[in-house]
Structure 1
Amino acid sequence: MRSILHRWNQVSLVKQIIIGLIVGIILAVTIPDAAKPAAILGTLFVGALKAIAPVLVLFLVMSAIAQHKSGQKTNMKAIIGLYLSGTFLAGLTAVIASFLFPVSLTLAEGADDLTPPGGVTEVLKTLLLNVVDNPVNAIVNANYIGILAWAILVGLALRNAADTTKTLVSNVSDAVSKIVGWVIKLAPFGILGLVFESITANGLGSLLDYGKLLAVLLGCMAFVALVVNPIMVYAMIRQNPYPLVFKCLRESGITAFFTRSSAANIPVNMKLCEDLGLDKDNYSVSIPLGATINMAGAAVTISVLTLAAVHTLGIEVDIPTAIILSVLSAVSACGASGVAGGSLLLIPLACSLFGISNEVAMQVVGVGFIIGVLQDSFETALNSSTDALFTASAEFKEWRKEGKKIDIHRAG
């Protein structure tokens, strides 16, 4: 047994995850009833990641701020610029694709019991209220905007504290990071359970009627991941961006695809940034912030489904209105995590731009839930992997200016 464990530990985590994925598919296809207990592995894995992520963010950010020296450079302005630009360009890509490949919907019921936000003001209000949320409540509910705000404030308050206090906070941060490492080592078994549960519970038959919509939706996300993002990365690092792009998709995107939770993927992105040799003071803030405002996938979802409703109803759309939709989808997407239901519940807000009634818009949301098995998985994979990608790009730009070697393959 010890020999088997030794050999298993010598296999890279990505290969381990692929093995777990394949085993999960085989079990779901061949012996779904007998292997039903395997589903608990996925639930436990996601639960562990979601449980540790808020504590990790709190102590990492507190430690980074408390020990930050005056005059020390950070890349946060560049990272936030990439986050906002990437989200807007994703929305614009989706708008252009929806004009090139218009989709009509068979509207679905099933979202009547949900309440969408009344406007952009309400979305931004929710976001601001999350900032001043009770700190304990923010941790319990995984409100990362609130956690970030309190962690920064406490970190600033500790700037003049005794070195022993700062060391204690740093030691707790390191301990939580180690626990995260232990949880991530269980990813192959968690992925096995998630794949098994997804295939046995949902199947793919219900998605066939929405093939063209899915093709446009997922095609946009793939285009953003493989064309738009690499162009932005190249503009920062001035070298072939694809090794870094593929590394982030492989080591962050795969896990996010199956967990379908940006919050659960925060520890995975933290570990990836550490493996890339990035500055902990930067990524300890940028990664949880990205899980809140870097929402390229959500912008794509909002734009594509909104314009599908527009085409279904035969509404004419001019270029200025299309550009406004791109901006609206980007702003709404940045507030998606603060709204129950995520990006789908922001579709009625975008539909209101074209005078589409709330009743019809909620039927479009119903369609979104039907295709959510794939839509949400791809959306989360794009959102979360881009957090690590843009964080690394901003720091690699500084490395390039300083003449330091950019070793994208550092972590294997």
Structure 2
Amino acid sequence: MKKTQSRYIPDSLVTQIILSLVSGIAFAYVSQRYAIEAGILGELFINALKAIAPLLVLILILTSISSYHQGQKHTIRRIIILYLLSTFSASILALIASYLIPQHLTLNTSLLGVTVSPSSILEVLNGFLMSMVTNPIEALMQANYISLLLWGIGLGFAFRNSSHPTHMVLNDISSAITKIVRVVMKCAPIGIFGLVSSTLASTGFDVLWQYTHLLGLLLGCMLLIIFLFNPFLVWWYIRRNPYPLVFTCLRESGITAFFTRSSAANIPVNMALAKKLGLNPDTYTVSIPIGANISMAGASITITVLTLATMHTLNINLNISTAILLSIVASICACGASGIAGGSLLLMPVVCHIFGIPDEIAMQVVGIGFIINILQDSAETALNSSTDILFTAAVCMSSQYQPTEKAEYLRDIPIFIDKKP
């Protein structure tokens, strides 16, 4: 039975996802009515991921910090610096691209009324800090990943001096939750089939054509980060051709994240890839959950481009100091959008308010964002999640990388074979 199953069903999750994508498109074309009803499969899959992702982030960070080896401290610091650098640089790139290719939106400007005076960045920082100290139970219920990150780190340090049985219990809990997520991820092809077929049957891609320029600018900026900026940072660390590693991370992590649209839900995929690459578990079990919260280059691009498009539409001038403020705010808000599908769009009113744009106009921009959300949010998450494992692998390799015996991809990625002496 197993031999027959393996003959017709590919073992690779990526291959299964591609087949489900093609099947979903064909099903939507053949039967529009039943394709819409098949959307329940996608909703079940996404809701299952949303339900387990907050608990997964909390437990993984708690367990990793509590059993963390002191020798890996500087490695984690360098990975976090790369995460933040990529997020901020993505905002700068989006800022420059929006100046070179200004976008104008169709907005109902009669709702403008009196323009509100620009607020201070301290207001954003205040909300950001308040979200960090949310009750942990409430943070789990509301999927507040910034608060969960803080609680996970705090509890992890608190458990550092616990007894060995306590560490064993934490590790067992972490393993149990990870197994649940793996079971959910095995259903990814079915969920993606439902998502693709229902989306195409209900809306299709016709509605995207009226915003092709805006969508093209967003995707163009993300592609530049994926294929130029991130590889440059990787090359800077390892001094070798970075693209074999870049393409591996995109294939194994980016494709899955493209459809799940949640960096937090894609953590098990990145962890599995890190294990295949033979990276140090003491490093990637800490860096990947943290990256799912602060490595948000895609969200930073979305917030910056949409905000500047709104300002161009309303003829609001943007000087150099204000542009720098926008990049900083976009980076901070991008981190606040962590792990949530469409989270960057939901934070648009916060950024718009800082620059004196009323909520009525900001919500129109959010509505436009949801029109292109099918491709924008998917590409954004693929960039965010693949960057997590990419920078983790790069820093591990630069730190006198020695792959473990379980590194299954040594024959597939030439970059690992040519190690430093």
TM-score calculated relative to the size of structure 1? 0.87
Structure 1 position 350, deviation (Å): 4.0
> Taking structure 1 as reference, are residues 264 and 352 closer, same or farther at Cα in structure 2, changes over 3 Å only?
same
The aligned counterpart of 2:417 is: none
Percent of paired sites with the same residue: 52
Cα distance in structure 1, aligned partners of 2:36 and 2:13: 25
* Partner-residue secondary structure (3-state), 2:279: coil
The 8 Å contact of residues 262 and 381 in structure 2, kept in 1 or not, is answered as: yes
> Taking structure 1 as reference, are residues 152 and 323 closer, same or farther at Cα in structure 2, changes over 3 Å only?
closer
The 8 Å contact of residues 61 and 152 in structure 1, kept in 2 or not, is answered as: yes
* Partner-residue secondary structure (3-state), 1:86: helix
Structure 1 position 93, deviation (Å): 0.9
Cα distance in structure 2, aligned partners of 1:315 and 1:125: 25
Structure 1 position 70, deviation (Å): 4.3
Say if 2:360 is the partner of 1:363. Answer: no
The aligned counterpart of 1:329 is: 330
The aligned counterpart of 1:142 is: 143
> Taking structure 1 as reference, are residues 2 and 95 closer, same or farther at Cα in structure 2, changes over 3 Å only?
same
> Taking structure 1 as reference, are residues 393 and 29 closer, same or farther at Cα in structure 2, changes over 3 Å only?
same
The 8 Å contact of residues 288 and 392 in structure 2, kept in 1 or not, is answered as: yes
> Taking structure 1 as reference, are residues 34 and 343 closer, same or farther at Cα in structure 2, changes over 3 Å only?
closer
The 8 Å contact of residues 348 and 358 in structure 1, kept in 2 or not, is answered as: yes
* Partner-residue secondary structure (3-state), 1:75: helix
> Taking structure 1 as reference, are residues 177 and 74 closer, same or farther at Cα in structure 2, changes over 3 Å only?
farther
> Taking structure 1 as reference, are residues 411 and 271 closer, same or farther at Cα in structure 2, changes over 3 Å only?
farther
The aligned counterpart of 1:248 is: 249
Cα distance in structure 1, aligned partners of 2:350 and 2:248: 35
Cα distance in structure 2, aligned partners of 1:69 and 1:141: 32
Cα distance in structure 2, aligned partners of 1:65 and 1:143: 20
The aligned counterpart of 2:416 is: none
The aligned counterpart of 1:65 is: 65
Cα distance in structure 2, aligned partners of 1:353 and 1:138: 26
Say if 2:168 is the partner of 1:167. Answer: yes
> Taking structure 1 as reference, are residues 241 and 76 closer, same or farther at Cα in structure 2, changes over 3 Å only?
same
7-16 or 98-107, larger mean C-alpha shift = 7-16
The aligned counterpart of 1:376 is: 377
Cα distance in structure 2, aligned partners of 1:233 and 1:408: 21
- Structure 2 stretches of 5 or more lacking a match? 113-117, 413-421
The 8 Å contact of residues 191 and 258 in structure 1, kept in 2 or not, is answered as: yes
Structure 1 position 21, deviation (Å): 0.9
Aligned-partner residue type, residue 157 of structure 1: A
Cα distance in structure 1, aligned partners of 2:167 and 2:355: 54
Structure 1 position 131, deviation (Å): 2.8
The 8 Å contact of residues 64 and 282 in structure 2, kept in 1 or not, is answered as: yes
* Partner-residue secondary structure (3-state), 1:34: helix
Structure 1 position 310, deviation (Å): 2.7
Count of residue pairs the alignment pairs up: 406
Aligned-partner residue type, residue 15 of structure 1: T
The 8 Å contact of residues 75 and 395 in structure 1, kept in 2 or not, is answered as: yes
Aligned-partner residue type, residue 199 of structure 2: S
336-345 or 64-73, larger mean C-alpha shift = 336-345
Cα distance in structure 2, aligned partners of 1:325 and 1:138: 27
Alignment of 1:187-336 (within 5 A): 187-336=188-337
TM-score calculated relative to the size of structure 2? 0.85
207-216 or 143-152, larger mean C-alpha shift = 143-152
Cα distance in structure 2, aligned partners of 1:4 and 1:329: 51
* Partner-residue secondary structure (3-state), 1:304: helix
> Taking structure 1 as reference, are residues 325 and 141 closer, same or farther at Cα in structure 2, changes over 3 Å only?
closer
> Taking structure 1 as reference, are residues 145 and 105 closer, same or farther at Cα in structure 2, changes over 3 Å only?
closer
Say if 2:7 is the partner of 1:7. Answer: yes
The 8 Å contact of residues 33 and 201 in structure 2, kept in 1 or not, is answered as: no
The aligned counterpart of 2:75 is: 75
> Taking structure 1 as reference, are residues 131 and 326 closer, same or farther at Cα in structure 2, changes over 3 Å only?
closer
The Cα RMSD (Å) is 3.1
Cα distance in structure 2, aligned partners of 1:340 and 1:248: 20
The 8 Å contact of residues 219 and 379 in structure 2, kept in 1 or not, is answered as: yes
Cα distance in structure 1, aligned partners of 2:152 and 2:354: 37
The 8 Å contact of residues 275 and 411 in structure 1, kept in 2 or not, is answered as: no
Structure 1 position 338, deviation (Å): 9.7
> Taking structure 1 as reference, are residues 29 and 411 closer, same or farther at Cα in structure 2, changes over 3 Å only?
farther
The aligned counterpart of 1:42 is: 42
> Taking structure 1 as reference, are residues 157 and 121 closer, same or farther at Cα in structure 2, changes over 3 Å only?
same
The 8 Å contact of residues 56 and 177 in structure 1, kept in 2 or not, is answered as: yes
Cα distance in structure 2, aligned partners of 1:65 and 1:301: 32
Structure 1 position 108, deviation (Å): 5.6
Say if 2:389 is the partner of 1:388. Answer: yes
- Structure 1 stretches of 5 or more lacking a match? none
